[in-house]
Structures are given as structure tokens and as C-alpha cells.
Amino acid sequence: MSLKERCPVIEFKDLGDERGKLVVIEGNESIPFAIQRVFYIYGSDSTVVRGQHANRESEFVLINVAGQSKVRITDGHEEFVVELNRPMMGVYIPKMVWKDMYDFSSDSVLLVLASTHYDGSEYIRDFDKYIEEING
């Protein structure tokens, strides 16, 4: 399976009506895991690169609920960039995939849904070590 196939862009259902938009994300339904943690990143700007890690245990879905940002996704072999610019779209990041988030608009609010509680020890923050680990 290609990296893009492993990290699909997910379009969420819009339950909006004339009163406004409504997007619902249900664990194990609209995304492939049960949600254990939610965090969001805002106040970053176009000079900042965040992420820069892979996770041994966690899966994520990233959604720009406001503004926009880009996510560079790589497994050391393939690489692609997703522009997150609509509250109705997200990108799924499985375990052991490296991601960098950058080019944040000043109004960017990047919502992250995670499959685990936080455990700093499952983060790989050194790219060379990441490549070593995936190559076994």
C-alpha cells in the first residue's frame, strides 16, 4: 500500500443546514480508531515547523477547524504534503509515520484527535533514529 493510501484524507459529513455548519466525528466510525485524547494547536505562524516526530503507538487525525496549515508526511521512502484548509477534511496518520506541520495561517486552529493518552516515551523525535527503527 502506498503512503498516501495508508494516510488517507477523510471527508467528514456536513450536517449543516440554513443555521450553519455542523461536522461530527465519531471514533471507530468516521475515523479508524477510538478517540482517547484531543488537543489543538494555534498561535503558530508561517515561520514555525511543529510535529517533527513519529509515534510508536499513537494514531492521529489532523483537522484545521479554522484557517489552514500543511502537513508533510513521510515514511522515509515516500513523502507527500496535505493542505488542511477546510473544517470538513482531515488526514489520518497511522503509527510510525513521520509528520511535520508548517505554514500555519495566523487564524489556524489545528485540531488533533489521538488514539492514545499522552506518553512522551512513544515519540521518536530524531529522524535518523526513526529511519533506523522502521528499517528494523
Which residues are identified as catalytic? 53
Near ligand TYD by CB under 6 A: residue from 39, 45, 77, 106: 39
| CA separation for the pair 46, 63 (Å, rounded) | 17
What's the Cα-to-Cα distance from 121 to each of 7, 57, 117, rounded to whole Å? 23, 10, 12
Angle at 37 between CA 121 and CA 133, to 5 degrees: 30
Provide the minimum distance between the beta carbon of 5 and ligand TYD in the complex, in angstroms, as a whole number. Answer: 24
Provide the minimum distance between the beta carbon of 91 and ligand TYD in the complex, in angstroms, as a whole number. Answer: 15
Contact 90, 59 (CB under 8 A): no
Near ligand TYD by CB under 6 A: residue from 6, 50, 72, 95: 50
Near ligand TYD by CB under 6 A: residue from 22, 46, 118, 126: 118
Does 80 contact ligand TYD by CB under 6 A? no
* CB nearer ligand TYD, residue 80 or residue 118: 118
Phi, psi of 60 (to 5 degrees): -135, 155
Provide the minimum distance between the beta carbon of 83 and ligand TYD in the complex, in angstroms, as a whole number. Answer: 18
Q: Which stretch binds ligand TYD (CB under 6 A): 5-13, 35-43, 67-75, 77-85?
A: 35-43
Place of cell 497511522: 94
Does 41 contact ligand TYD by CB under 6 A? yes
Q: Which helix (H) or strand (E) holds 65?
A: strand 60-66
Phi, psi of 134 (to 5 degrees): -75, -25
Q: Which residue ranges make up the site for ligand TYD (CB under 6 A)?
A: 37, 39, 41, 50-51, 118
